[in-house]
Amino acid sequence: MFAQNLHTHTAWDDGTASPLDMARAAVAAGLTSLGFSVHSPLSWGNDWAIPADRLAAYRAEIAQVRAQFRGTLAVYDGLEWDSRSPLAPDGFDYVIGSVHFLAPGGEASSVDLSSAVTKALLEDRFGGDERAMARAYFAQYAALADDPRVDIVGHFDLICKYSETAGLFDSRAPWLLDLASETMGPLVSAGKIFEVNTGAMAKGYRTEPYPSVPLLRRLHALGGRVTISSDAHRPEHLTYAFPETRAQLRAIGFRELWRFDGRGFVPGPL
Ligand SMILES: [Zn+2]
Ligand SMILES: [Zn+2]
């Protein structure tokens, strides 16, 4: 098993468990390192990102858990940075760059809150034009290529979250695969690591990770680097579908997984 998960949440943001309980579950699940990746604060009201005024207390608790598990489990203080967050992604062990919002005309709307919200965004703000909305979405990922503070590309095709359950943004549509792979190129060239994220599988939205299998094939052809994560919001999802995902990556042709070692990212055998 790949013994690291760098994409996890706690009750400090939209997860269910304390950092301590997540660390205990990580040890029980056989992980040797665990990265907490709190959702960066947002400038508008929401119930899932950590409020800016709680960040210091949260990080103090992560430091405490890190000290408590020293020698058993390496604990990292990471960040899932939304590209629209006012927080500068500095001073964390590593940064996952994620796009959760589109803001045509200025007002941000979520692409992954529910299929109804995504559908309303598509109809009301993009006139039902999936291509226009996908272009706006992937343009925000493309911008991450130019930001050296971002290490990992988070759930790259989140816009296809409701492909299987609601027919939104068909993850097999050739135009979408072309658009997504055009975006992947500069991210790969910039040295970004793509997470292969099983979170939507754990929650029953998808039968494949982000990025989708066809996109992973294209990523491999581009020479992309990958890690595996589960975007765990609860302890029982910490290693969700890790063995199957490794097998899938091997079948595509990947031979290495990248992991964080406390200083930087290093490859290991898949
Ligand atoms: Zn996310
Ligand atoms: Zn997340």
pLDDT, tens digit (0-9, with 9 covering 90-100), for 114-161? 999 999 999 999 999 999 999 999 999 999 999 999 999 999 999 999
pLDDT, tens digit (0-9, with 9 covering 90-100), for 15-60? 999 999 999 999 999 999 999 999 999 999 898 999 999 999 999 9
Centre of ligand 1 from the C-alpha of residue 98, in Å: 6
Q: Is the peptide bond before 186 cis (omega within 30 degrees of 0)?
A: no
Centre of ligand 1 from the C-alpha of residue 261, in Å: 22
Centre of ligand 1 from the C-alpha of residue 166, in Å: 20
Domain residue limits, the chain: 80-269
The answer to whether 216 and 252 have CB atoms below 8 angstroms apart is yes
pLDDT, tens digit (0-9, with 9 covering 90-100), for 162-183? 999 999 999 999 999 999 999 9
Centre of ligand 1 from the C-alpha of residue 155, in Å: 7
Number of the ligand closest to the Cα of 7:
2
The pLDDT assigned to 2 comes to 76
Centre of ligand 2 from the C-alpha of residue 67, in Å: 24
Residue-by-residue DSSP string for 187-211 = HHHTTPEEEEE-HHHHTTS-SS-BS
Centre of ligand 1 from the C-alpha of residue 156, in Å: 10
Dihedral angle of Cα 180, 102, 80, 98, to the nearest 10 degrees: 10
The answer to whether 253 and 28 have CB atoms below 8 angstroms apart is no
| 96 — pLDDT class (breaks 50, 70, 90) | very high
The pLDDT assigned to 1 comes to 65
Cα–Cα distance measured from residue 146 to residue 190, given in angstroms and rounded to the nearest whole number: 7
Cα–Cα distance measured from residue 258 to residue 88, given in angstroms and rounded to the nearest whole number: 25
pLDDT, tens digit (0-9, with 9 covering 90-100), for 190-221? 999 999 999 999 999 999 999 999 999 999 99
Q: What CATH number does domain 80-269 carry, 3.40.50.300, 3.90.1170.50, 3.40.47.40, 3.20.20.140? A: 3.20.20.140
Residue 124: what are its φ and ψ, rounded to 5°?
-80, -35
